[in-house]
Amino acid sequence: MPITTCVFDAYGTLFDVAAAARQAASEPAFAAIKDDWTAVAEHWRLKQLQYSWLRAITGAHTDFWEVTQNGLDWALEKTGHHEDAALRKRLLALYWELQAYAEVPEMLAALKSAGLNTAILSNGSPEMLQGAVNSAGIGDVLDVSLSVQSVGIFKPDASVYDLVGAHFGCTKDEVLFVSSNGWDAAAATGYGFTTAWVNRSGEPMDRLPWTPAHVMQNLTGIPALAGV
């Protein structure tokens, strides 16, 4: 079945999750993290994901914004910046203005020009996703942002992936699902999507029952995978 629908994870896939810490570190008011902003960003992202998994398996769902704040608080304590309230406030504000990776606008435009459906499927709340889409200026090349908030559980629960077919009326084999998270791409493979893992940092393959169909360094090859 030809691909009709291209679906993207948001954070780390379309949007650079390290951008908030990198931007703050470049500002004189937050020079305290200029030497360890990468550690702040890495701890923040890891805890954000870990907390989403733990909440999913324990049935303790909450808004992704709370998870994001919880992850940042852990990261700031881990790196010794937990008493800097101004830094915390600035990092959280910047998370609503994450930059898209450089190839994203042209890639999405190519998909839309070819008549394909394009969507975000993310743990992010609708408000968070809208903020990122607006900041990146890519709203005109996305049909919809689908949030786990409508099903009340985080990825990789199958009910999250169900949102794609429910919205577009497509079958699983019509969907190309793209994520920078190896576990997300793997789970989507098990679900039945054609998948691409965007492995920007050269991470090892996750040891899971499924593996992504494709592995790429960035998103420039997605139109070709979709048959454009």
Whether the pLDDT of residue 200 is over 90: the answer is yes
Q: In the CATH scheme, what is the code of domain 19-95?
A: 1.10.150.240
Task: Write out the CATH class of domain 5-15+100-225.
Answer: alpha beta
> Helix, strand, coil shares of the chain as percentages rounded to 5?
50, 15, 35
Please identify which of the residues 9, 140, 162, 184 carries the catalytic annotation: 9
pLDDT digits (tens, 9 = 90+) for 101-142: 999 999 999 999 999 999 999 999 999 999 999 999 999 999
What pTM did the predictor assign?
0.94
The answer to whether 63 is a known catalytic residue is: no
What is the gyration radius of the CA atoms in the chain, in angstroms? 17
Peptide bond into 156 cis (omega under 30): yes
Residues 6+ apart with CB under 8 A from 117: 4, 5, 6, 143, 168, 170
Question: For the chain, what are the domain ranges?
Answer: 5-15+100-225, 19-95
Fold equal for 5-15+100-225 and 19-95 = no
Using CA atoms, how far apart are residues 200 and 196, in angstroms rounded to an integer?
A: 12
